[in-house]
Amino acid sequence: MVDDLLTSTLESLAIRLDTIQAALISQLLKAMLESKRDHENPLTPSEASGLLGRLEPGGKLSKATAKRTLRTLVGIGLVQMIADGNRRTGYFTNASIVENGLRKLRKRVKSEIVQEIGSVEAQEKAIANLDCATLAQDLVEELTGHRHRISSRLITGEDDIKRAIGYNMGDIARKGDIIRVTIVSFSPFLDEQEKLIDGIARAARNGAEVRCLLYARLENAPSGAAAQMGKGKRTDTHESSEGQKLTVQMKLCDRQDAYHAATFGEQYMALVVSEDPVTVAWITREFNPDIIDTSNSVFDAIWQDARSIVEAGAKRISSTDPAAGRLEKHEKPLSRAYVATNDGDEVHTKDEQIAAALDLVGFNSNEERFSVLRIVLQKQHRLGNPTDFRSIYEQIKEESGKKDIRRSQVYRALASLENDGYIRGDRTSHPFHYAATLETLISALGNAEMSAFRRLELRRAELDSEIGRLSGLNLARLAADTIEMTTGIPPRASASFAEGYDQIGDLADTEVYSVSRKGDTVRVSLGWTRSIPNVARARIETLIHVIRRGAKMKVLVAKQWEDDDSAIELLTSIYESLLQENRDVSVRVRGTKESTYQFVARNNEGIFLIVSEEPPAATYIPRSVNQRLVDDAIASFDAEFETGANLHSKSSESV
């Protein structure tokens, strides 16, 4: 039972132990706690071995094993080590050391989880910016030396559409090109205006002329996109930071017969074919030159009679000096629509960019099946048709310099590629033939992208859950239970002290927040965190979690908060939101600026009392330690709470 309790406690904090380790550290910790040795009289490894021998009659434990076990306990933080002047080491522990060790361990584990969450978020962002079509084109070009063009394809999902349009508008358009954008509805072009305007700015900076045609009925739409962009001249010419003339025009039209599309010169067209779900057909001149020419002709005819309204969103893309009339200087866009690595390292060469992008979606360019895919593409390009298994197998043997490569090994790589959709197999003849096209690569990479994103979402959910579980651990009780189980003696309640914002937060979580549940009443007297926005925000977020677990919350705000508009506005908005959720919470403002107790308490079991603001320090006082102080603080709180002004009512009246 003792082993199970201590092992489960440590595993809750990500310390994994095998059966022998768990038994040894549990027995040794029990022996050390029962011995009540302190820093003035610590245990030596020999004495620790002897203690274990008495616990396990007939058992044998070497001094070296005892020393390793002691070092494990020191590493975990449950035991402290000291050395005397003769280089002899000793070990000791007590209830406080055990609790502090568990608390530090939790903090370290939470920090590691937060770092991993940051890494997951970075990967999610990189995958969201991945353009699989461009990646497939570059992959084929890198492996075969020939760039294949996409004649047409459907693009679904607003993010993919904006990425494709933004890439072509901002990175492909060059001097002499005319980009025509017809906006019939706000989806997908104007749902996020910053992306559209950024693409326009980059295209114009590259020398293209950008013309945007906006349906007049959208001018007074709720989003107010046209109004936000501002009114301007018929032809809007701006000067970039480099002194380059940038031409961007935007007009309103009353006609309803234009294509909902964007055309890029005479070569490409993004045609909206559905708004629910939003779907765009990407069309090249090779696939259908007539529709591109017709769209451009209709656009130009409407353009002649349209009304000019916009100065290209000068306020939104201007430099930091509005009077200068210059477009904001952007860094030169990267030549690829995907550049990312899992660890954020910068990549430079094209093959590095491709490898980094493939790694994001789980396709390692160093694995064997990538070599097989390369051979399929290269041989298919040279021969102009699918390649057979024998040719692929012989090429792999030639490149590896080995004669004994198993055919089954190559078959497995081909089957894996075929299963993931990168290649297609033809089994109507023998030997089998395999082919890879730009379309199969785009489809397979798209599926891999979605799978990778789902994996990251699941991992993120697991990490969020782990953070919540760690925050909910009552380490004081875990330590007390562990000590009671190992020694049979319940630890005497005592006050705990913390200094510094992190330690204060940990102690408050341990003693109050993590153990508060439905049926509990939590009293909070705010005041000291008002001038530290990050601390205040973190504490308020913790309180929200407690409220949503069902606890009743009474918050008494210092009157000085009324002098801080941003703080009171934040608190009011959160309070009103919780009331709309029907949470049991009341926030009131004290009627006086005089100082009083600043504390947090769960029921009347004890108070977490702020004892110093500089340096920040707090102590948790159980009621059994100082009943009069705890009762007086709670009574003082309740009296002021009854006479305080309701924050919600106060906000409503001011409105």
pLDDT confidence of residue 486: 57
pLDDT confidence of residue 309: 63
CA angle 270–274–279, rounded 5-degree value:
55
Burial 583-619 (b: 16+ CB within 10 A, else e): bebbbbbbeeeeeebbbbbbbeebbbbbeeeeebbbb
Do the domain assignments include residue 213? Answer: yes
**Model confidence at 562, in pLDDT bands (50, 70, 90)?**
low
pLDDT confidence of residue 268: 81
Instruction: Tell me the CATH number at 587.
Output: 3.30.870.10
Do the domain assignments include residue 431? Answer: no
For residue 262, pLDDT beyond 60: yes
616-651: pLDDT as tens digits: 888 989 888 888 999 999 999 999 999 888 875 444
Q: pTM surpassing 0.75?
A: no
For residue 62, pLDDT beyond 70: yes
Consecutive H or E run containing 248: strand 245-253
pLDDT confidence of residue 313: 38
Task: Quote the percentage of the chain above a pLDDT of 90.
Answer: 9
- Structural domain containing residue 308: 147-324
For residue 565, pLDDT beyond 60: yes
Query: 531 and 628: one domain?
Result: yes
Query: 158 and 298: one domain?
Result: yes
- The pairs formed by 157-163 with CB atoms below 8 angstroms and a separation of 24 or more are 157/277, 157/278, 158/187, 158/188, 158/191, 158/278, 159/128, 160/131, 161/188, 161/270, 161/278, 161/280, 162/188, 162/192, 162/195, 162/196, 163/129, 163/131, 163/337
For residue 6, pLDDT beyond 50: yes
Q: Are 623 and 633 in contact (CB under 8 A)?
A: no
Do the domain assignments include residue 115? Answer: no
Q: What residue ranges in 397-495 does DSSP mark as E strands? A: 424-426, 433-435
Query: 501 and 637: one domain?
Result: yes
Q: Give the total residue count for the chain.
A: 655
pLDDT confidence of residue 342: 43
CA dist., res. 122 & res. 125, Å (int): 5
pLDDT, the chain, mean: 75
Query: 548 and 650: one domain?
Result: yes
- In order, the DSSP letters of 594-631 are S----EEEETTSEEEEEEEETTEEEEEEETTT-HHHHH
For residue 543, pLDDT beyond 60: yes
Mean pLDDT of 162-188: 69
First to last CA, the chain: 61
**Model confidence at 150, in pLDDT bands (50, 70, 90)?**
low
Residue with tokens 């494709």: 164
In this structure, how many other beta carbons lie within 10 angstroms of the beta carbon of residue 38? Answer: 11
Contacts of 224 (CB under 8 A, 6+ apart): none
Query: 69 and 193: one domain?
Result: no
pLDDT confidence of residue 341: 43
- Residue 127 CA neighbour count, 13 Å, CB half: 25
pLDDT confidence of residue 4: 58
Do the domain assignments include residue 180? Answer: yes
349-392: pLDDT as tens digits: 778 888 888 888 889 888 888 999 999 998 887 655 788 999 99
For residue 159, pLDDT beyond 70: no
Query: 621 and 527: one domain?
Result: yes
> Three-class SS of residue 436?
coil
CA dist., res. 135 & res. 141, Å (int): 10
Last residue of a domain, one of 287, 307, 324: 324
Contacts of 331 (CB under 8 A, 6+ apart): none
**Model confidence at 242, in pLDDT bands (50, 70, 90)?**
very low
pLDDT confidence of residue 417: 93
Query: 175 and 288: one domain?
Result: yes
> Three-class SS of residue 264?
strand
Do the domain assignments include residue 511? Answer: yes
193-209: pLDDT as tens digits: 455 556 666 677 777 88
pLDDT confidence of residue 234: 38
Question: Out of 86-90, 493-497, 563-567, 605-609, which region has the weakest mean confidence (pLDDT)?
Answer: 563-567
Consecutive H or E run containing 438: helix 438-471
Query: 306 and 185: one domain?
Result: yes
Last residue of a domain, one of 324, 356, 386: 324
Structure tokens at 524: 């909070």
Query: 543 and 646: one domain?
Result: yes
291-329: pLDDT as tens digits: 889 989 989 888 888 877 644 333 333 333 333 333 333
pLDDT confidence of residue 197: 58
CA dist., res. 513 & res. 282, Å (int): 54
Using DSSP bridges, classify how beta strands 496-499 and 616-622 pair: parallel, antiparallel or unpaired: antiparallel
pLDDT confidence of residue 138: 86
**Model confidence at 237, in pLDDT bands (50, 70, 90)?**
very low
Do the domain assignments include residue 60? Answer: yes
Instruction: Tell me the CATH number at 77.
Output: 1.10.10.10
Question: Out of 7-16, 358-367, 503-512, 605-614, which region has the weakest mean confidence (pLDDT)?
Answer: 7-16
321-352: pLDDT as tens digits: 333 333 333 333 333 444 444 444 555 677 88
**Model confidence at 490, in pLDDT bands (50, 70, 90)?**
low
- Alpha-carbon distances of 218 from 226, 421, 516, rounded to whole Å: 8, 42, 51
Question: How many domains does the structure of the chain reveal?
Answer: 3
Query: 46 and 157: one domain?
Result: no
Do the domain assignments include residue 629? Answer: yes
Mean pLDDT of 463-481: 72
> Three-class SS of residue 404?
coil
Last residue of a domain, one of 299, 324, 349: 324
Task: Examine residue 222 and say whether the peptide bond preceding it is cis (omega within 30 degrees of 0).
Answer: no
pLDDT confidence of residue 27: 74
CA neighbor of 479 nearest in space, from 108, 207, 146, 98: 98
pLDDT confidence of residue 412: 92
414-451: pLDDT as tens digits: 999 999 999 988 888 788 899 888 878 888 888 898 89
Mean pLDDT of 534-553: 81
Amino acid found at 534? N
CA dist., res. 153 & res. 356, Å (int): 25
CA dist., res. 259 & res. 96, Å (int): 73
For residue 246, pLDDT beyond 70: no
CA dist., res. 331 & res. 167, Å (int): 15
Consecutive H or E run containing 160: helix 158-167
Question: Out of 183-197, 204-218, 260-274, 594-608, which region has the weakest mean confidence (pLDDT)?
Answer: 183-197
Query: 534 and 625: one domain?
Result: yes
Query: 316 and 181: one domain?
Result: yes
Do the domain assignments include residue 30? Answer: yes
